[in-house]
Amino acid sequence: MLSYNKLKDRPRDFLAATGLTLDEFQQLLLAFQGAYEQRYPYELTRTGTPRQRRTGGGAKGVLQRFEDKLLFILVYQKTHPLQTMHALQFNMSQPQANYWIHQLLPVLQQALADLGHAPERDASRLATSPLALEGAPAMALDGTERRRQRPTDARLQQEHYSGKQKAHTDKNLLLVKETTSKVVYLSPTITGRTHDKKAVDEARIAYPTNATLDKDTGFQGYEPEGVLTQQPKKSPKARS
């Protein structure tokens, strides 16, 4: 079973599992605990009614410590496993894993927002986002896909099927600040079949003044006004 105590003395494994160093984890943990206690007050049940028994009464869950709660949701976000496999790693059932994912994901999002690390979700506000304005305005744009369960509806199957990945996927656009390595914009989730160029055209991203943008061939022809774009090209030797 994965736990904070088992991983805290293995920094390389900890980074691989969570995407954070131990110091970064500890900084996030303080905000995570505050966001959790604000969202789920101890004197109330999950449904918002007053508790009938004292705090700590009843069955003891697997994720009792805040360190393990944060580890659980970070590993899920970093590795994106099937819920059944994630449950096995934390010695719980799939329904329990599903419950905790839905309980902890909003807490993690609030903690990141409180620390000022949450990426902008509204493309029209990116030009004034503190994350985007931090350091030089050098950015990189890319689309990322993740596998999803095959839809039962035939129309949705077609929309979510990615020929590039040869699987049913969901897609997001990511805009990363090259000087800080932080994600400054995360687009709404779209179907995996949507082409990167079409997705970014529809997003209508507002860039900071004097921004530069690195993009790959999936964004061929995307030239936002006032932005200097760069796209890698194959060398003559590679084409021959």
pLDDT one-digit tens code per residue, 69-112: 999 999 999 998 889 999 999 999 999 999 999 999 999 999 99
Mean pLDDT of 53-80: 84
pLDDT one-digit tens code per residue, 27-44: 999 999 999 999 988 777
**DSSP assigned state of 8:** T
Q: Compute the distance between CA of residue 111 and CA of residue 102 in angstroms, rounded to an integer.
A: 15
Helix then strand then coil, % of the chain, to nearest 5 = 45, 15, 40
Kindly report the pTM of this predicted structure.
0.76
Determine how many CB atoms are found less than 10 A away from the CB of residue 117.
15
Closest CA to 75 of 26, 4, 142, 143: 4
Q: Which two tokens stand for residue 49?
A: 């009614």
* 238 has a pLDDT exceeding 60: no
Q: Beta 190-191 vs 228-230: how paired, if at all?
A: unpaired
pLDDT one-digit tens code per residue, 123-160: 999 999 999 999 888 999 999 998 888 889 899 999 99
* 61 has a pLDDT exceeding 90: no
pLDDT of residue 60: 66
pLDDT of residue 49: 77
171 pLDDT tier (thresholds 50, 70, 90): very high
133 phi, psi to nearest 5 deg: -90, -5
Q: Which of 42-56, 63-77, 192-206, 225-239 has the lowest mean pLDDT?
A: 42-56
- Residue bearing tokens 């131990």: 22
pLDDT one-digit tens code per residue, 204-233: 999 999 999 999 999 999 999 999 999 887
* 12 has a pLDDT exceeding 60: yes
Q: Which of 57-61, 63-67, 94-98 has the lowest mean pLDDT?
A: 57-61
Q: How many helices (H) and strands (E) does the chain have?
A: 10, 7
Domain positions in the chain are 4-49+62-114, 123-232
pLDDT of residue 184: 94
pLDDT of residue 149: 85
* 58 has a pLDDT exceeding 60: no
